């Protein structure tokens, strides 16, 4: 990024992609949207990891209470075995990575706490990941919905999306690093930051800066 933003504004996200943390590291302040309408097929309730067959999407099933349309009201559906499936998928994809065993006991308990709301789960995961990555970042929730932010704010709420290409400001920063299955499919950028953390460990922060 050409200049340091005052704050990065993002949607809530489940195990967010690498560029989410690049923005946080650059700004030092992260404002998570808490008052937007819930949109399906976004990073709000899904992440992308590098599995043995290539990119694998992991999705948290959610429901919206009657009369609610906001992301903040999205409830996690634990009647489906998604939690066990996600943990098994992460183990299968990253158990041979250099740092999976080092970090799994910091990450899985956040999932196993089984919070009722998606926003609560995501905030806990983002906060834990910032610590594990060594990113110094102030995190806050938006007090209200603002359609557009003034200069100095890096608004990524619609830009970071699984169905869109990586925003241009980040694209040339994706230097190849070792990935477990890169011998099969090559380097894949823009995955969940878990991929970077499990493969690079303490060196991950230097990749984000």
The three-point CA angle 27-107-143 to 5° equals 45
Q: Residue 166: what pLDDT?
A: 82
| Short-list 135, 99, 106, 182, CA closest to 18 | 135
Identify whether the C-beta of residue 12 lies closer than 8 Å to the C-beta of residue 127: no
- 97 is written with which tokens? 């990575």
User: Mean per-residue pLDDT for 39-44?
Assistant: 94
Q: Residue 2: what pLDDT?
A: 52
pLDDT in tens, 49-107: 999 999 999 999 999 988 778 899 999 999 999 999 999 999 999 999 999 999 999 99
Q: Residue 66: what pLDDT?
A: 81
pLDDT in tens, 146-172: 999 998 899 999 999 998 888 888 888
């Amino acid at each position: 990024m050409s200049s340091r933003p005052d704050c990065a504004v993002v949607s809530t996200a489940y195990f967010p992609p690498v560029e989410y943390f690049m923005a946080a590291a650059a700004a030092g302040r992260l404002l998570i949207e808490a008052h937007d309408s819930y949109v399906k097929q976004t990073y709000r309730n899904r992440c992308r990891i590098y599995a043995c067959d290539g990119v694998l999407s992991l999705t948290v099933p959610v429901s919206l209470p009657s009369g609610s349309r906001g992301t903040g009201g999205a409830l996690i559906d634990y009647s489906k075995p998604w939690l066990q499936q996600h943990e098994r998928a992460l183990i299968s994809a990253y158990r041979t990575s250099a740092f999976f065993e080092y970090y799994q006991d910091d990450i899985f308990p956040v999932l196993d706490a089984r919070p009722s709301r998606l926003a609560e789960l995501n905030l806990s995961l983002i906060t834990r990941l910032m610590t594990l990555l060594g990113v110094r970042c102030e995190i806050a929730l938006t007090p209200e919905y603002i359609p557009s932010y003034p200069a100095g704010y890096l608004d990524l709420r619609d830009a970071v999306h699984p169905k869109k290409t990586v925003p241009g400001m980040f694209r040339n920063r994706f230097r190849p690093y070792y990935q477990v299955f890169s011998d099969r499919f090559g380097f894949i950028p823009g995955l969940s930051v878990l991929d970077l953390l499990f493969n690079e460990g303490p060196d991950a922060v230097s990749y984000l800066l």
